[in-house]
């Protein structure tokens, strides 16, 4: 009898591990949809490089929700503080979560939200059903090498090669300790020392101590009006973009290193409260890089968050000292009278999110303590009827509000000198269509889906080189039609109206795609009118079977004015993001391939060429063509 029970237990464990290994075959279609849902974007062209790199890292190394702490769940940017607390409570009461259906039954989750999270999480378990394995022992090592060479034709007709490289390494032990290093240089930079580098060491606790991070980290609180480091999408093309997904303090592991903080940070939990504190040293990163001299200052701050089933509130406060050492001038900064003598930036904010009867409300108000200027934003999301989801928002950013370190929604380049109003909606109708070659969550789609948005903003003070107040209106409409299980058509129409510069900008795009789970074929037609007519078209074919995947694209473009430039997302290896602007008259070809070697290695290859055989209007000489070859190797040990 005992032997039979042992065999049954082993069989259960094997099935659990088999399910985990099966998750490694992550569907690109589902992941792409999840990327857009989490960032609030409509298309890949709307996303930022840092955000895509972060989500790619999560996809390559899924979050082990049965093995990590509450702090780790929040920092991922996937879960709200309440969802993270619900997962921990469920694990303590009922054992590990072993399936997507089980996660959807946890408080704070739904089938729709789990479908979005699925490409980025793992149900890996080291315990029998009903038991918890959060004390399991394991070690992970991840190494990424990438290098590329670009050949650019010179005026003499010779090809001039330039190179870049990147390196990433991460070590994790038992989900309690992590250390990571990233370094790289671009084509135009010196190869050593690296142009940019980031690193961190992090300890994750199990009780009151959430995490302690030393090195580089991101800080994202509230709706981003006071403190939000790193890139964030500025517009509101869809309902999902109206509010931010705050991740608090999270280690930074990106190639660029721009926008993050370098210093020490920690967070702590006490019941429904989460307290975060940090001390950043602006200028320290630049002082590490050869050839860059920068003033050193100190930026301490904290955030106190209270979360519950229906909502959350938090308070943020931080200040930055004046420069302590100015290497460029070799002297001390000039004295300033008043409170600003020692402090250059001081900001406080309060934010809240609350859900009542299916309506989600969110807001944040911030005050600049030195200028006594206040900024605020507020919005809501709700579903008035089945198949329709709406969102609206107001923002008030006065011109004297200091927007440094801010990352709230906006139409301009910063959270300053802008009053705005936005409204957006998404709709769906028709029956669900089973998608060819896909199973499980995300394996079906509504036949008709779409979204619309209108964003209006006004700048009371001059900006963009305009010596008077200015206004802008953006409108976007998108529609997706799932014709069959393997064929889909998408349309996007956008219009931008301004009282300055180029008054109108009209963009019309149509995508037609075929996918059967192994083969895929897509075509895009894009026309844009601003000062003239710009046109772009490409056709792409792809193949995926087992460990091998490949994609080939060829396209043509005709854009005679830079104001009419057209952006198109280019496929690349994971962790790389490219949305080049096409300008001139020419063509391009690209080939991307990847192969998985056992469970420890993946190799990626990309080759591309862009040529300009035709003269644009007003040109007398042809633009030089360029070729690029990129190789990336990923090792998971």
Average pLDDT across each block of 10 residues of the chain; the chain has 637 residues. List them in order. Answer: 39 36 48 77 75 81 87 88 89 89 89 87 83 74 89 72 89 89 82 82 89 94 90 78 88 78 93 93 76 78 91 94 62 53 90 90 94 94 92 94 87 82 94 83 85 94 86 95 94 94 94 91 97 96 90 96 93 82 94 86 92 85 88 86
Whether residues 222 and 107 fall in one domain: no
Nearest Cα neighbor of 312 from 253, 264, 354 is 354
- 207 belongs to a structural domain: yes
| Distance, CA of 211 to CA of 218 (rounded, Å) | 13
Residue 529 placed within a domain: no
**Do 226 and 316 contact (CB within 8 A), yes or no?**
yes
Is residue 592 in some structural domain? no
Q: Residue holding tokens 């930055």? A: 320
| 102 shares a domain with 9 | yes
In a domain, residue 167? The reply is no
Q: 170 near 144, Cβ under 8 Å?
A: no
CA nearest to 151, candidates 612, 614, 616, 610: 610
Same domain, 250 and 335: yes
Q: Model's pTM, two decimal places?
A: 0.84
Last residue of a domain, one of 329, 356, 375: 375
- How many CB atoms are located within 10 Å of the residue 202 CB? 24
pLDDT value at residue 1: 37
Residue 261: which domain range? 195-375
347 and 206 share a domain?
A: yes
Same structural domain, 92 and 220: no
Q: Do 83 and 216 lie in a common domain?
A: no
CA dihedral 15, 19, 22, 26 (to 10 degrees): 180
The total number of residues written for the chain in this structure: 637
CA dist., res. 145 & res. 165, Å (int): 8
Residues 211, 84 share a domain: no
CA–CA dist 114, 103 (Å, integer):
7
Indicate the SS3 state at residue 605. strand
For residues 116 and 206, membership in a common domain is answered with: no
**Last residue in a domain, options 80, 104, 133:** 133
Residue 543 lies in a domain: no
The reply to whether 234 and 312 lie within a common domain is: yes
Same domain, 128 and 206: no
**What is the pLDDT, as a whole number, of residue 287?**
75
203 and 117 inside one domain? no
pLDDT of the residue at 407: 86
Task: Kindly state the DSSP code that residue 308 receives in the 8-state scheme.
Answer: -
Last residue of a domain, one of 375, 398, 425: 375
- Position 507 scores a pLDDT of 97
- Confidence at residue 395, expressed as pLDDT on a 0 to 100 scale: 95
Taking CB atoms within 8 Å and a gap of at least 24, the contacts of 159-168 are 159/627, 162/187, 162/188, 163/187, 163/191, 164/189, 165/191, 166/255, 168/142, 168/143, 168/144, 168/253, 168/255, 168/575
Provide the pLDDT for residue 448. Answer: 95
Is there a single domain that holds both residue 90 and residue 217?
A: no
Residue 595 CA to residue 545 CA, distance in Å, equals 10
Residue 92 lies in a domain: yes
Look at residue 345 and tell me if it is in a domain. Answer: yes
Provide the sign of the torsion angle of the four alpha carbons 250, 251, 253, 256, taken in this order. Answer: positive
Q: Is residue 185 part of a domain?
A: no
C-alpha of 14 from chain center: 35
- Provide the domain count of the chain: 2
């Amino acid at each position: 009898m005992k032997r039979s029970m042992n065999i049954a237990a082993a069989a259960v464990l094997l099935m659990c591990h088999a399910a985990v290994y099966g998750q490694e075959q992550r569907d690109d279609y589902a992941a792409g949809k999840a990327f857009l849902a989490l960032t609030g974007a409509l298309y890949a062209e709307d996303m930022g490089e840092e955000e895509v790199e972060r989500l790619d890292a999560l996809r390559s190394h899924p979050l082990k929700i049965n093995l990590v702490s509450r702090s780790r769940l929040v920092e991922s940017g996937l879960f709200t503080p309440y969802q993270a607390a619900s997962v921990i409570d469920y694990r303590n009461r009922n054992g590990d979560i072993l399936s997507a259906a089980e996660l959807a039954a946890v408080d704070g989750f739904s089938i729709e939200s789990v479908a979005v999270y699925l490409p980025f999480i793992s149900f890996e378990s080291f315990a029998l059903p009903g038991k918890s394995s959060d004390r399991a022992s394991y070690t992970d090592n991840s190494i990424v090498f990438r290098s590329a060479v670009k050949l650019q034709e010179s005026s003499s007709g010779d090809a001039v090669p330039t190179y870049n490289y990147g390196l990433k390494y991460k070590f994790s032990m038992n989900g309690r300790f992590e250390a990571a290093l990233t370094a790289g240089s671009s084509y135009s930079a010196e190869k050593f020392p690296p142009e940019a580098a980031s690193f961190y060491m992090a300890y994750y606790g199990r009780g009151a101590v959430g995490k302690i991070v030393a090195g580089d980290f991101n800080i994202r609180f509230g709706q981003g009006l006071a403190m939000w480091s790193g890139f964030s999408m500025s517009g509101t093309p869809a309902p999902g973009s109206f509010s931010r997904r705050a991740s608090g303090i999270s280690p930074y592991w990106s190639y660029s290193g721009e926008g993050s903080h370098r210093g020490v940070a920690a967070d702590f939990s006490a019941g429904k409260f989460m307290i975060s504190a940090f001390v950043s040293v602006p200028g320290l990163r630049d002082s590490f890089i050869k050839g860059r001299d920068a003033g050193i200052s100190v930026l301490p701050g904290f955030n106190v968050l209270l979360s519950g089933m229906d909502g959350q509130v938090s308070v943020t406060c931080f200040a930055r000292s004046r420069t302590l050492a100015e290497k460029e001038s070799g002297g001390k900064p000039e004295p300033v009278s008043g409170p600003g003598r020692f402090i250059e930036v001081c900001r406080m904010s309060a934010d809240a999110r609350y859900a009542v009867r299916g309506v989600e409300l969110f807001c944040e108000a911030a005050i600049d303590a030195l200028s006594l200027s206040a900024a605020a934003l507020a919005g809501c999301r709700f579903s008035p009827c089945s198949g329709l989801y709406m969102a609206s928002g107001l923002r008030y950013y006065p011109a004297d509000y200091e927007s440094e370190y801010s990352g709230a929604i906006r139409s301009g380049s910063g959270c300053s000198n802008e009053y705005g109003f936005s409204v957006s909606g998404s709709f769906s109708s028709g029956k669900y269509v089973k998608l060819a070659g896909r199973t499980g969550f995300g394996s079906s789609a509504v036949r008709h889906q779409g979204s619309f948005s209108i964003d209006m903003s006004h700048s009371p003070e001059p900006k963009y080189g305009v010596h008077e107040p200015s206004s802008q209106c953006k409108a976007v409409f998108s529609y997706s039609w799932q014709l069959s299980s393997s064929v889909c058509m998408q349309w996007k129409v956008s219009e931008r109206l301004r009282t300055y510069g180029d008054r109108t900008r009209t963009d019309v795009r149509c995508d037609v795609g075929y996918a059967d789970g192994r083969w895929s074929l897509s075509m895009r037609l894009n026309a844009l009118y601003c000062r003239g007519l710009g046109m772009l078209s490409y056709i792409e074919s792809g193949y995926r079977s087992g460990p091998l995947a490949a994609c080939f694209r060829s396209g043509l473009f005709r854009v005679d004015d830079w104001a009419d430039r057209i952006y198109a997302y280019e496929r690349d290896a994971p962790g790389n993001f490219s949305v080049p602007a096409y300008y001139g008259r020419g063509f391009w070809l690209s080939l991307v391939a990847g192969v998985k070697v056992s469970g420890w290695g993946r190799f990626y290859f990309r080759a591309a060429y862009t040529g300009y055989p035709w003269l644009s209007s007003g040109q007398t000489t042809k633009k030089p063509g360029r070729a690029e070859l990129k190789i990336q190797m990923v090792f998971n040990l």
